Structure 1
Amino acid sequence: MTSPAASPDEAHTRSVVLDGVSHDFHVKGKDVRALDTIDLTIQPGEFVCLAGPSGCGKTTLLRLVAGFMNPTGGRITVGGEEVRRPGEERGVVFQQPTLFPWLSVRRNIELGPRLRGVASADRSQLADTYMQMVGLKDFAEHKPYELSGGMQQRCQIARVLANDPDIVLMDEPFGALDAITRERLQNELLDIWRATGKTILFITHSVDEAVFLGSRVMVMSPRPGQIVLDESAVLAEGEEQLAPEQIRSLPAYTELRDRVRRAIHETPQGATSS
């Protein structure tokens, strides 16, 4: 059973805490360590971008926080409650849109609230709100296969937001998109974060994306994954009202981007986090 929905005040005080979290996979008769003793606290309202080389355990960490699997060592809590399974306070945006092809954009977005017993009129209002937010108002009755890849991802984001989770977990959601669409969705996601105050954990391979989006940027080492860099980003220092092109031209943006790149490329496998 899922826990009762939190009040708005409770929702904005839920921290995500990883306490000594490790995870092993059993592969061909032996244990392979994917994550090694990670201690991490994500405060409510933070936009945390996690970057690192392929195979470092970024997606594994996100799946553990989502409750899709349990760590083999340590403990994960959300708002003080141990995570043992998925919960309605956590919404997941996957790498590829997971939309029902026989449902319209509107019906996809309304699905979660409908399953929770939200009244029809309220569901419709929710769908209108989030379709407007992600720029799909004119495509409400389209099926997913009638949309571009970027529009499908917008629909997936709107569907997650319509469930009103406290924490949004995003696993490289823009990785398969062309550069122009990706940049547009980055800008839109920042606007959504500012408007909703959601806590976001965002996994990415792109250094520029991590530094542009995050209020906090982390880098994981090669397997076994550990946090080797953890810094506040440009947006966390009061620059959030600048236009995207202004943010990317800031010296602080360039300096942090270079530090993140060095952390990714210079950290040897099995390094110990500082």
Structure 2
Amino acid sequence: MRVAGVEHVFGSRGAEVPALDRIDLTIEPGELVTLAGPSGCGKTTLLRLVAGFMRPTSGNISVGDREVRGPGAERGVVFQQPTLYPWLDVRGNVALGPKLRGVAKAERTARADTYLDLVGLTDFADRRPYELSGGMQQRTQIARVLANDPDIVLMDEPFGALDALTRERLQGELLSLWRATGKTVLFITHGVDEAVLLGTRVLVMSPRPGRIVLDEPAPFAAASADVDPKDLRASPEFAELTRRVREAIT
């Protein structure tokens, strides 16, 4: 994925608010890139542009050799709040995308069950969303996005509204899913520790208009396959990268 010279301005002439300023970014297949920054810096704006929900004021975004001109099946979005359909059970929510694309019932059910197993919700496949906890609803939303088999998963502060213990558990589950699927992930967060733990690369944006002011590799996402995240967080290397990210934000 390539973001080339992207700028974005909200409003009309005379009441313009610049949101993004000359964003240049390449994300390679299989990377898990985290993006942090102060509130209002344009993180979500950038994600929405990559998702195709909006067009940039200038510059362009491409996936492979195709310019992004709108939403596409190769890009799946996990929002901060789960967007599940209450009249469908969990399996039905996960299978909805393949159903809309005309996938046969047996295949889409099998695909839904595969991803429900990956996120640990096999025993809840027949429940309605309102019967699930917030963390379980978010896991269902992640399974629904993965069932569409996108090349790129865009995550907009997906754990921000969860309690600390649930958030830590889902961070570990996300890393396991990333290793199992090899998906390319762009993960927006306001948490410095979360950005450092999850990212193979950590990006930081400046206050509005947002610019990328830090782009550093991070080893902890890969290391978490063999080392407890609690031990990673306690390491001097984790503390040092966290310090640099925090300084870049402030």
Normalising by structure 2, we get a TM-score of 0.97
Which runs of at least 4 in structure 1 moved beyond 4 Å after TM superposition?
Answer: 236-240
- Alpha-carbon separation, structure 1, partners of 2:4 and 2:104: 39
Counterpart position of 1:226: 211
Post-superposition offset of 1:136: 0.7
Post-superposition offset of 1:27: 5.8
Counterpart position of 2:246: 261
Post-superposition offset of 1:119: 1.1
Post-superposition offset of 1:127: 1.1
Counterpart position of 1:217: 202
Amino acid at match of 1:148: S
- CA change 1:240–1:27 in 2 (3 A) is farther
Aligned length: 250
- Alpha-carbon separation, structure 1, partners of 2:69 and 2:102: 24
Superposition RMSD in Å: 1.3
Counterpart position of 1:206: 191
Amino acid at match of 1:178: D
* Structure 2 residue matching 1:99: 3-state secondary structure: coil
Residue 96 (str. 1) matches residue 86 (str. 2): no
Amino acid at match of 2:209: P
1:165-201 CA distance string (max 9 Å, x none): 0000000000000000000000000000000000000
Post-superposition offset of 1:253: 1.1
Residue 158 (str. 1) matches residue 165 (str. 2): no
Amino acid at match of 1:230: D
Post-superposition offset of 1:239: 6.0
Match 1:142 to one of 121, 127, 139:
127
1:11-61 CA distance string (max 9 Å, x none): xxxxx1011000000169421110000111001000000000000000000
Query: Contact conserved, 1:21 with 1:74, CA < 8 A, in 2?
Result: yes
Residue 245 (str. 1) matches residue 191 (str. 2): no
Normalising by structure 1, we get a TM-score of 0.89
1:38-93 CA distance string (max 9 Å, x none): 11100100000000000000000000000000000111111021001000000000
- Structure 1 residues 75-84 or 27-36, which shifts more? 27-36
Post-superposition offset of 1:234: 2.1
Match 1:51 to one of 9, 20, 36:
36
- Percentage of identical aligned residues: 70
Counterpart position of 1:176: 161
1:127-183 CA distance string (max 9 Å, x none): 111111111111011100111100000000000000000000000000000000000
Query: Contact conserved, 2:175 with 2:221, CA < 8 A, in 1?
Result: no
Match 1:114 to one of 79, 99, 102:
99
